[in-house]
Amino acid sequence: MKISIISIPVRDQEKALKFYTEKLGFIKKLDLPLEGGNRWLTLVSKEAQDGPEILLEPAPLHFEPSKVYQEALLEAGIPYTQFDVEDVQIEYDRLSKLGVEFSMEPMEMGTVKVAVFYDTCGNNIQLVEKI
């Protein structure tokens, strides 16, 4: 068994696509039209193009429990998911220059260094560096 796709709920797929590709550097893998103007929209890491895909899922627009869950996590300041990076400070500096809003600057927490940013589409995302 292996992970092939992980969903991230987004409020606007086009806005999310722009943010995740232009700011974070992911690459679009699939973009297939679905009913109601939605898309099966997946991204991959430049470093692992055959690896797990991120599905930019429009669930909060069509499934109230998803919207409630997403808003509760955001309000509590809890990250929806995390991305591993080699150096949190370098990513923090790079993303800050691109206008990405961080709610938590790089901070050491035991054996990791973390930072948290807002993805502009309803989610806090945590960056993690193993130290």
Phi-psi region of 122 (alpha: psi -120 to 50; beta: other; left: phi over 0): left
91: nearest Cα among 106, 112, 79: 106
- What distance in Å separates the CA atoms of residue 60 and residue 70, rounded to the nearest whole number? 7
Predicted pLDDT of residue 5 = 98
Predicted pLDDT of residue 61: 86
What pLDDT was estimated at residue 51? 96
Q: How many CA atoms lie within 13 A of 20 on its CB side?
A: 30
For position 62, what pLDDT does the model report?
Answer: 86
Domain count, the chain: 1
Which tokens belong to 65?
């429990």
Residues with Cβ within 8 Å of residue 111, at least 6 apart in sequence: 130, 131
pLDDT in tens, the chain (131 residues): 999 999 999 999 999 999 999 999 999 999 999 998 999 999 999 999 999 999 999 998 889 999 999 999 999 999 999 999 999 999 999 999 999 999 999 999 999 999 999 999 999 999 999 99
- CATH label of the domain that carries residue 104: 3.10.180.10
Q: How far apart are CA 116 and CA 69, in angstroms?
A: 18
Task: Supply the range of the domain harboring residue 18.
Answer: 5-130
Check residue 60 and give its pLDDT: 86
**Residue 123 near residue 9, CB atoms below 8 Å:** yes
